[in-house]
Each structure stands twice: as C-alpha cells, then as structure tokens.
C-alpha cells in the first residue's frame, strides 16, 4: 500500500512539472551535457514565435580527436565538422516551449574525414525530423529527443576507412538521441 501511495505522489508531481511553463520566458538556451564526452560542442537557441511554435538555431562543432573516447577511434582516423542546424519546433496543443514537440530542421556545415592515407572534406546538408518532450522545474528544463535525418555531402568520401569499416558515400541516413538541459529567459 505504501509503494502505491509513493508511486501516485510521484506521478502527480511529474505531471505538474510537465505542464509547468516558465512564465514570460520566450527564449531557451539548451546544452547537451554529454556532448563533450563525444567531442561535440553545441548550443541550441529556441525562440517562441507563436504560442505553439519555436524557431531553432544550433551552431555546433564536432571533433572526434578531442572526445573522451578518442582512444576508441581507429589509429589515424580523424573526423571533425563545424556547422549549424536551423528549423522550427511545433508543440501540438501545448504552449511552447513545454511538452511534446516535433520539428523540421536543416543542418549544414563543413566536414573533414581522414584515415591516415586518404582524406575528404567539403560541405554537406542534412534535412531532419525531430521529436521530444520538454519538462520544466522553474526556469530549468530537460528535453530528451530523437532526430532522424539524411546527410547529403557535396563531396565523395568513399574509400576512407574508420578502422575495419569502410565509409561509403555520398549520402547517409543519420540519427541522434540526446538529452538537453534548457534555461529559460
């Protein structure tokens, strides 16, 4: 009986946090605290443009060599990119930026790949779809999300090896699963 009461109290508390909206806050700055472990340094800025819609811009820099897991990368393999993601997030039936969201984004940037013998670099674009759920406690929010995209590089990186895996070009499906901490202003 006591466990049931605890579960009910936790469910009520979580649901009240989920509907909590930072009052008068139209701008969010989000950071992924786990990104630097993988060499990803990014910040996402979301600006409410309508009651259920936000505009998104997210500059990013990725360098496998500067990640905590660089020893897992094959000898001689280097990968880095710099770019940005822009788009919109829609919060159906909710007041942005809290609750369930889905969005369309376009990521573009410069990518460099090297395997010790060969290298390839150039620009790429990646249209993507994202979905997630953001909850707030005061001005601080957390948002797990999934993003699916299709990368289209404007250069050929066929033949570059990442360990015993051959990279094939010129296009690739991509996905990422992330958690971001947001600060409302």
CATH number where 18 lies: 2.40.160.20
- How many folded domains does the chain comprise? 1
Q: Cα(155)–Cα(178) distance, rounded to whole angstroms?
A: 28
CA distance 185 to 173: 35
* pLDDT at residue 22 is higher than 70: no
pLDDT of residue 16: 35
pTM (global) more than 0.85: no
Domain of residue 85, residue span: 2-184
Intra-chain end-to-end CA distance of the chain, in Å: 42
What pLDDT, on the 0 to 100 scale, is given for residue 157?
Answer: 79
What tokens appear for 52 in the block?
Answer: 């259920």
Q: For residue 11, is pLDDT > 80?
A: no
Lowest mean pLDDT among 8-17, 89-98, 170-179: 8-17
Percent of the chain exceeding pLDDT 70 equals 75
pLDDT for residue 13 is more than 50: no
Name the CA dihedral angle for 34, 123, 74, 164, rounded to a multiple of 10 degrees. Answer: 120
- pLDDT for the residue 73: 61
The rounded mean pLDDT for the chain is 80
Which of 155, 178, 176 shows the shortest CA–CA distance to 167? 155
Question: Of 4, 8, 24, whose CA–CA distance to 16 is shortest?
Answer: 8
Mean pLDDT, range 135-157, rounded to an integer: 89
State pLDDT tens for residues 71-97: 556 667 788 889 999 999 999 987 888
């Amino acid at each position: 009986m006591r466990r049931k009461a605890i579960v009910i109290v936790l469910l009520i508390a979580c649901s009240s946090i989920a509907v909590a909206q930072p009052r008068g806050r139209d701008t969010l700055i989000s950071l992924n605290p786990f990104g630097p472990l993988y060499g990803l340094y990014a910040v996402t800025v979301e600006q409410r443009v309508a009651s259920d819609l936000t505009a998104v811009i997210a500059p990013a820099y990725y360098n496998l060599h500067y990640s905590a897991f660089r020893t897992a990368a094959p000898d001689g393999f280097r990968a880095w990119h710099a770019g940005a993601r822009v788009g919109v997030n829609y919060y159906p039936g909710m007041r942005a930026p809290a609750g369930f969201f889905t969005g369309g984004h376009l990521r573009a940037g410069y990518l460099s790949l090297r395997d010790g013998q060969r290298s390839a670099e150039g620009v790429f674009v990646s249209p993507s779809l994202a979905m997630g759920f953001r909850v707030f406690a005061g001005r601080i929010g957390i948002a797990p999300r999934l993003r699916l995209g299709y990368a289209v590089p404007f250069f050929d990186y066929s033949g570059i090896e990442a360990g015993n895996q051959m990279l094939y070009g010129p296009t690739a499906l991509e996905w990422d699963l992330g958690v971001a901490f947001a600060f409302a202003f």
